[in-house]
Copies of this chain bind each other. A is one copy, B any other.
Amino acid sequence: MLISASRGYKELPTLTAISLDQINRALSSRLTPWTDLATAATPSTSTARPTRPPSQSPSLPPPFQTSSPHHPGLPPSPRGRYPFILYPSSFIRACPNSNATHRTHHKLVSIHRKTRFNLPRQGLRKMSTLTAITSSTSPLASAFKKQKVAIIGSGNWGSAIARIAGNNALKLSDIFEYEVSMYVYEEDFNGKPLTQVINELHENPKYLPGIKLPENVVAYPSAAKAAEGATLLVFVLPHQFIRSVCTQLKGQINPEAYAISMIKGVEVKDGEISIFADVIEETLGVECAALSGANIANEVAEDKFSETTIGHREGEKGKEAAELFFKLFDTPTFKVGMIEDVAGVSLCGALKNVVAIAAGFTDGLGWGDNAKAAIMRIGLLEMKRFSEEFFKGVKPETFTETSAGVADLITTCFGGRNRKCAEAFVKTGKSFEVLEKELLNGQKLQGSETAREIHEFLKARGKVDDYPLFKAVYSIAYEGIDAHDLTSKL
């Protein structure tokens, strides 16, 4: 019997009310009975992890041993990516009544009925019909291969997102492996290594104090160790660390994994501009999506209502990755939207900070709500125009309609350090360098940094004047132009 273990997961239809007895009666009348395929198809690759629960089917014989590097114990995929699993008929056993198996059972029945595979309500007619729908494109195929999640990063936002991913991995145990590993840059916390503190307390007291992490989130001091065997990699690091971490991971990770970047900012190097999703994709050779939104970490961690946006690549793989990350992050209070636009989502997260500097200037000038809203509107359109001009496949609605676009711009221009420092810049007359020392403990302010990078990029192309708001922010921040001139060229 040939069964696929695609990672493509889609929302399945509501279960129909067919009892397990009915199904088993139908199955046993014609066929070898049902087995716990989900468990059998997911050989554990990380039994040494500290908080993993015991396997539910330890006595099941292993499938054919093969050489697939991605899925040890599974034969290589005929499509090069998704392994097909060949089980000897002796593995087909009676339903062991596990939850996962129940779900799989019911889904199969439900899908059969929905897709009119000639399935009578009272039972399954043919096992061959069952086999037919478990093709590599079947929406339920993911039930046969669980996703292993690694969070690369553990700051304020990293810890908040690890909490969500950990909780969803527990809830959707037929999709995700139990453990969600988290790379933590090792440092001392009250005389103990931070990883140890996190794993003992189930909390990151340094960067997200007061918020409990689920017990399946496990901290590792090594990025490579955290990423070991992962099929879903979540990059949530300050952007200055991304290249060094990618270097550590190079050659160490599953080449068929999917990655997602939650990194704000852009990289301007040698006159070229890059988003970090592309940097990750090129460095590690894995497909990389992006996630951004109106997401103040502490509010997300407290389960206050919030939305976010996943920007994914085009094609089947891009959509498949997005749907998996959707499942990993979506909750009733953290609503995930999806759009086929990695660049747009990434650029929103970087360029909004430049607009927030301008918004902060208006606050410092005491110009009022009309002016601030106008600056935000003009800024949003410059963000969109810049992205459309210099990146392929950018969608305008990413900017004007998603949480990554307009909503994040709103939170950033009303809260946030960029707005705050820009207000202080106007009111105190101090430079951003001084304010970074005084207000941010020497940390770099992203908005003013990005304004400078964008300016250099545009200057090299003779296009500075095409973006008058970006230009005004740069001129005020770095060229001593009076902040009152903010709108004189708009």
Which residue of B294, B368, B370 is within 8 Å of A370 (Cβ)?
A: B294
Contact of A381 with B by CB under 8 A? yes
Specify which of A295, A307, A377, A486 lies most central, judged by the most chain B CB atoms within 10 Å of its CB.
A377
Q: Which residues of B contact A299 (CB under 8 A)?
A: 367-371
The answer to whether B407 and A305 touch across the interface, beta carbons within 8 angstroms, is: no
Interchain nearest-CB distance for A299 vs B (Å): 4
**Overall SS of chain A's interface:** helix
Alpha-carbon distance between A397 and B304 when the two chains are bound, in angstroms: 30
The answer to whether B296 and A370 touch across the interface, beta carbons within 8 angstroms, is: yes
Residues of A333-371 contacting chain B, CB below 8 A: 333, 335, 362, 367-371
Alpha-carbon distance between A377 and B381 when the two chains are bound, in angstroms: 16
The answer to whether B374 and A305 touch across the interface, beta carbons within 8 angstroms, is: yes
Q: Which residues of B contact A332 (CB under 8 A)?
A: 488
The answer to whether B406 and A406 touch across the interface, beta carbons within 8 angstroms, is: yes
Interchain nearest-CB distance for A283 vs B (Å): 31
The answer to whether B410 and A307 touch across the interface, beta carbons within 8 angstroms, is: no
The answer to whether B377 and A403 touch across the interface, beta carbons within 8 angstroms, is: yes
Which residue of B307, B376, B402, B408 is within 8 Å of A407 (Cβ)?
A: B376
Alpha-carbon distance between A368 and B415 when the two chains are bound, in angstroms: 10
The answer to whether B374 and A294 touch across the interface, beta carbons within 8 angstroms, is: yes
Contact of A411 with B by CB under 8 A? yes
Contact of A487 with B by CB under 8 A? yes
Residues of A270-327 contacting chain B, CB below 8 A: 294-296, 299-300, 304-307
Q: Which residues of B contact A370 (CB under 8 A)?
A: 294-296, 299-300, 304-307, 411
User: Residue-by-residue, is A229-267 near B (CB-CB < 8 Å gives 1, otherwise 0)?
Assistant: 000000000000000000000000000000000000000
Which residue of B304, B403, B414, B487 is within 8 Å of A305 (Cβ)?
A: B487
Interchain nearest-CB distance for A202 vs B (Å): 24
Contact of A479 with B by CB under 8 A? no
Contact of A38 with B by CB under 8 A? no
Interchain nearest-CB distance for A366 vs B (Å): 9
Q: Which residues of B contact A369 (CB under 8 A)?
A: 294, 296, 299, 410-411, 414-415
Contact of A400 with B by CB under 8 A? yes
Alpha-carbon distance between A306 and B487 when the two chains are bound, in angstroms: 10
Contact of A2 with B by CB under 8 A? no
The answer to whether B374 and A306 touch across the interface, beta carbons within 8 angstroms, is: yes
Interchain nearest-CB distance for A347 vs B (Å): 17
Contact of A21 with B by CB under 8 A? no
Alpha-carbon distance between A335 and B306 when the two chains are bound, in angstroms: 34
Nearest opposing residue in chain B for A381, CB measure: B401
Residues of A391-436 contacting chain B, CB below 8 A: 397, 400-403, 406-408, 410-411, 414-415
Q: Which residues of B contact A408 (CB under 8 A)?
A: 373
Residues of A82-117 contacting chain B, CB below 8 A: none
Contact of A380 with B by CB under 8 A? yes
Q: Which residues of B contact A414 (CB under 8 A)?
A: 369, 414
The answer to whether B411 and A400 touch across the interface, beta carbons within 8 angstroms, is: no
Q: With A305-B487, A487-B305 in contact, is A294–B373 under 8 Å at CB?
A: yes
Specify which of A408, A411, A415, A488 lies most central, judged by the most chain B CB atoms within 10 Å of its CB.
A411
Alpha-carbon distance between A14 and B488 when the two chains are bound, in angstroms: 19
Alpha-carbon distance between A273 and B343 when the two chains are bound, in angstroms: 41
Contact of A490 with B by CB under 8 A? yes
Alpha-carbon distance between A381 and B401 when the two chains are bound, in angstroms: 7
Interchain nearest-CB distance for A331 vs B (Å): 12
Nearest opposing residue in chain B for A397, CB measure: B400
Alpha-carbon distance between A403 and B296 when the two chains are bound, in angstroms: 26
The answer to whether A410 and B376 touch across the interface, beta carbons within 8 angstroms, is: yes
Nearest opposing residue in chain B for A488, CB measure: B332
Alpha-carbon distance between A299 and B488 when the two chains are bound, in angstroms: 17
Q: Which residues of B contact A376 (CB under 8 A)?
A: 406-407, 410
Alpha-carbon distance between A200 and B397 when the two chains are bound, in angstroms: 52
The answer to whether A296 and B410 touch across the interface, beta carbons within 8 angstroms, is: no
Alpha-carbon distance between A490 and B335 when the two chains are bound, in angstroms: 9
Interchain nearest-CB distance for A161 vs B (Å): 13
Q: Would you mind naming 6 contact pairs between A and B with Cβ atoms under 8 Å apart?
A: A305-B362, A305-B367, A305-B374, A307-B377, A374-B407, A376-B410
A299-B369, A381-B401 given. 13 additional CB < 8 A pairs? A299-B368, A299-B371, A304-B368, A305-B374, A306-B371, A333-B487, A335-B374, A369-B411, A369-B414, A372-B410, A376-B410, A377-B410, A397-B400
- B-contacting residues of A (Cβ < 8 Å)? 294-296, 299-300, 304-307, 332-333, 335, 362, 367-374, 376-378, 380-381, 397, 400-403, 406-408, 410-411, 414-415, 486-488, 490
